[in-house]
Amino acid sequence: MASIAGTVLETAVMMFKDKFLEFEMRRPDMGVVGAFDKYGKALIDEATIKKNRASARRPQYIAVLNRQSTPVRDTRSTTITPVGSTSAKVGLNWKTYGFDVGVTEAINADNQITAAADLANQLEQGVRDVLLAMDADGTTFLETGKWSALPASSLMSISGGAYQTTQKELWINLPAVMRKLMLNGPYHMLSNVEAIANLTNVSTYGAANQQNLQKLINNYEFGYSGNINPGASREAYYAVPIGSLARVDWVEYDCRKPEGRGSYDGGVYYDTITLEFTALGGETISLTFGFLYIAQPADKSAILPGLERAYTEGWSLFLDSAYVKSYSSEAGKSPVVKILADAV
């Protein structure tokens, strides 16, 4: 609140226009969290997961069947000895994200910035920062869960659990390298922001050029994140078959009751709110938070005199989130493949 106290009408400060704040409100890339969200419903039964997790203390698992080796027999027999299937449980790792917003209408009463505009701005800033934290955690999830025991390839070398190639050969060799892993596109290609330069160069050579390189990048969906660090290389990619990533959210019991709990008039209220944020790459990401609303008197006299008991409203927004990737029972193998590309 203190940050807007100096803009009261007596100072004749003009209200900002949206254009004036374009730089201040610039949006980051969030390609990683966007990739987890886009096709998640094809990978997991989100509704059942939410239903079964009645409380935060209840462990949550996904039942799966393991890959296995079947003995190939070379002699017919009347003895039947099926191997049978083996199953496993995949646990979900939940993390809590939240932020607080609030307004004191008396502070905004003689201010060009209304309480509604003030609150809307706080919500936008809050959901942006939650998504930035989620994008960072999603990048860590990809890195720790990548295919670490990569098989040798005649097309790319291997270093630190990643294939290494050149920017020039990346798009020519990648389909063959992924096929050797028995993976098939289309793929998410999640990379550091600087990798846009290489993509721009390749896409420039389309039809009517001496070489048509555009077709080399037709089987990919690209996403960028400032959280992906190429290290000593120019570009770092996580190549993932589309539909292999998901993210599921959960809110606590009191908030998810259909009618909420309490009331705004009563000064205490639990409910949910869905906030959307559009990232720089065009991904529109939606988050449903559970919130606790409290209205109570608060001493705001440090901001404006006479507000020792000002009516103050606050909202505390929280959700739990878990990242998921396609299951692998084989140690070191994963649908997430890391590739590093250098200039030469």
pTM confidence score: 0.85
What is the fold, at CATH topology level, of the domain defined by 152-246+328-342?
hypothetical protein PF0899 fold (3.30.2320)
Residue 80, H or E segment: none
**What per-residue confidence (pLDDT) applies to 82?**
81
The candidate with the shortest Cα–Cα distance to 243, out of 102, 101, 39, 16, is 39
**What per-residue confidence (pLDDT) applies to 343?**
83
**What per-residue confidence (pLDDT) applies to 205?**
59
**What per-residue confidence (pLDDT) applies to 179?**
96
**What per-residue confidence (pLDDT) applies to 210?**
47
- Domain range list for the chain: 152-246+328-342
Which residues of the chain are modeled with pLDDT < 70?
1-18, 50-61, 64-65, 203-214
The candidate with the shortest Cα–Cα distance to 322, out of 43, 8, 120, 77, is 43
**What per-residue confidence (pLDDT) applies to 110?**
80
pLDDT, one tens digit per residue, over 24-59 is 888 999 999 999 999 988 887 777 776 666 666 666
**What per-residue confidence (pLDDT) applies to 295?**
94
Helix, strand counts (H, E) of the chain: 7, 14
**What per-residue confidence (pLDDT) applies to 35?**
95
Tokens 């997961």 belong to: 49
**What per-residue confidence (pLDDT) applies to 21?**
76
Amino acid at position 202, single letter? V
